[in-house]
A and B are shown apart, each in its own frame.
Chain A
Amino acid sequence: MKPYVRFPRWFGLALIALALLLLPHLLTQVGTAWVRIANFAILFIFLSLGLNIVVGMAGLLDLGYVAFYAVGAYVWALLASPHFGLHMPFWAILPLGALLACIAGAVLGAPTLRLRGDYLAIVTLGFGEIVRIFMNNLSSPFNITNGPKGITRIDGMNVAGMNFSATDTFLGIPFSGPTKYYYVLLLLLLLVIVVNLRLQNSRIGRAWVAIREDELAAKAAGINTRNVKLLAFAMGASFGGIAGGMFAAMQGFVSPESFVLHESIMILAMVVLGGMGNVWGVIAGALLLSFVPELLRYTVEPAQKALFGKMLIEPEVLRMLLFGMALVLMMRFRPAGLWPESRHKREMSEMKEEAA
């Protein structure tokens, strides 16, 4: 009806796309470190979107999610490093990592099907630790994971002969290693978001939410809750697997230390802070919790030096303090997250569109 309604939406998307494409070059002006930070922020978006399927949609509190991140990372590390002398290409190991994480998700999910709430959280927490401890100890009698020393000199990405660890120049613009990874991650991110949005509005997505809302009623409505829950664990885990693979490629080094409980909690906090169940909320949560600590790291130290002439509070300590305060305030004022799921509004606007 109104001719200008479509245009700004399209225009807005184009602007966002342009901003995202230019971002690494702008960040490079500030420092290459910031491109890396952006890359990790995207990894955390993968992880929190994966966990959002399990926690946000299906309502299954999973505290061991980092295990699937570890599976993805170790798959890449073992199949593309001098450790076994294997150097498989990325297009084989990235999907394989996702697939194995997916299987791990189903396998670890299966024993927890009858559990709910606190009990589920405790058991998944245990599973997360089991995976880490496995990685730590699978160095004898056969050296599979190289134990706590981790795996080094992992191959980076290599697409059509382009090495992702070196800087290339196209059309006079330098593309550093992290910048190249950024574009790959951006592409994957687009894919992950589309997958999430489509799942959310599908028969399977509705079944997940139904289980979260009332498992018994979902069963009575004919949903095989066992299968649908396993599907949630498996789908969620596969995103963790992809993130893990990219992590291994970017870092060139993995060790069990990267996959501690703290990481699971962090990812969960991103999901909860952003707004459980809402894809955009979760993305916002992941970005916020990825960038704010880094910002603090770069501002707190100079600020204190300027004010008091010396460091009084370590940035790391302050980070946790602010983090804790933010979560407490969140739970007090916005318990559903910064940007909560709103099926209500969505449906309403759809109906308006249909009526128009």
Chain B
Amino acid sequence: MSLLLEARGISKKFGGVQALKDVSLTIREKEIYGLIGPNGAGKTTFFNVLTGLYSRDRGDILFAGKALELGSPHLVAQAGIARTFQNIRLFGNMTALENVMVGRHMCTHAGVFGAILRTPGQRREEAAIRRRAEELLHYVGIAHRAGALAKHLSYGDQRRLEIARALATEPKLLALDEPAAGMNATETVALRQLIEGVRADGLTVLLIEHDVKLIMGLCDRVAVLDYGEKIAEDVPAIVQRDPKVIEAYLGGSVGE
């Protein structure tokens, strides 16, 4: 399998705290890649650097063979990385459908004049945006909630909606920041099926997760961060047995 993403020596410091220290990792095409580590290990920081929310001190990221423009989220999105947020960030006063339609912004072009004049091209595009958004809502399984305001959706549905919005940008890499957080067992199973479906449709998935069972069952490869450093990167079976990982994070759960 060819490489999709290669991070080289990413470092990030917040004041005196070294949040990321020389983190290098590679993600292959069409794999589900897990990023785990104890609280404060730097997972989300890495995520935010990758998706352009934070600037990095050192290092660079190659994505699909090109250097990623770090530090501007919309360019990262345009390069083909879509993300969700740990603390769900939806457009609360827009409907579920509209949230996904916003995700289509990047892949569409109609401007002010098209909108004012309602040109045939703009109308066609608008209809296509709507159709695609409806498809995506259906895909993540919340089509019946299309007309509801995002803030009125249940927690699990909000997570799904965020994934639908991310998918609307037609990414190559879908980056999910703790998607199973706060979900019950049934919801987690459904989420797992959704992620596997996304991969089956040809996308690559980067997953940050606390739920070790989910990560180990779902991911092709896993990287472990501890105090901002990568201490392991391999298939789950090997990572699970790595003494450094056990010490840093897994603790007793390996014996379960």
B55 contacts A by Cβ under 8 Å = no
A221 to B73, CA, bound (A): 8
Q: Which residues of the other chain, B, contact A350 by a CB distance below 8 angstroms? A: 147
Size band of the interface chain A makes with B: 20 to 34
Contact assessment for B149 and A344 in the assembled complex, using a CB-CB cutoff below 8 Å: yes
Known A-B contacts A214-B90, A216-B53; A195 and B116 likewise in contact (beta carbons under 8 Å): yes
Q: Which residues of the other chain, B, contact A309 by a CB distance below 8 angstroms? A: none
B97 contacts A by Cβ under 8 Å = yes
B146 contacts A by Cβ under 8 Å = yes
Q: Which residues of A in the span 302-356 have a Cβ within 8 Å of any Cβ on B?
A: 341, 343-344, 347-348, 350-351
Known A-B contacts A217-B85, A217-B91, A343-B95; A222 and B110 likewise in contact (beta carbons under 8 Å): no
Contact assessment for A219 and B74 in the assembled complex, using a CB-CB cutoff below 8 Å: yes
Contact assessment for B147 and A207 in the assembled complex, using a CB-CB cutoff below 8 Å: no
- The residue of chain B having its C-beta at the shortest distance from the C-beta of A221 within the complex is B103
Contact assessment for B115 and A351 in the assembled complex, using a CB-CB cutoff below 8 Å: no
Of A195, A203, A209, A225, the contact of B110 (CB 8 Å cutoff): A203
Q: Which residues of the other chain, A, contact B108 by a CB distance below 8 angstroms? A: 203
Contact assessment for A220 and B105 in the assembled complex, using a CB-CB cutoff below 8 Å: no
Query: Can you list 25 residue pairs at the A/B interface with Cβ under 8 Å?
Result: A198-B118, A199-B116, A202-B114, A203-B108, A203-B110, A203-B125, A203-B126, A204-B111, A209-B98, A210-B105, A214-B89, A219-B74, A220-B51, A220-B85, A221-B165, A222-B103, A223-B74, A223-B102, A223-B105, A223-B106, A347-B95, A347-B146, A348-B147, A351-B146, A351-B147
Contact assessment for A343 and B77 in the assembled complex, using a CB-CB cutoff below 8 Å: no
Which residues on A are within 8 Å of B, measured CB to CB? 194-195, 198-199, 202-207, 209-210, 213-214, 216-225, 231, 235, 341, 343-344, 347-348, 350-351
Contact assessment for B101 and A222 in the assembled complex, using a CB-CB cutoff below 8 Å: no
Minimum CB–CB distance from A60 to chain B (whole Å) comes to 16
Minimum CB–CB distance from B192 to chain A (whole Å) comes to 23
Known A-B contacts A204-B115, A214-B90; A222 and B146 likewise in contact (beta carbons under 8 Å): no
Q: Which residues of the other chain, A, contact B115 by a CB distance below 8 angstroms? A: 198-199, 202-205
Contact assessment for A222 and B77 in the assembled complex, using a CB-CB cutoff below 8 Å: yes
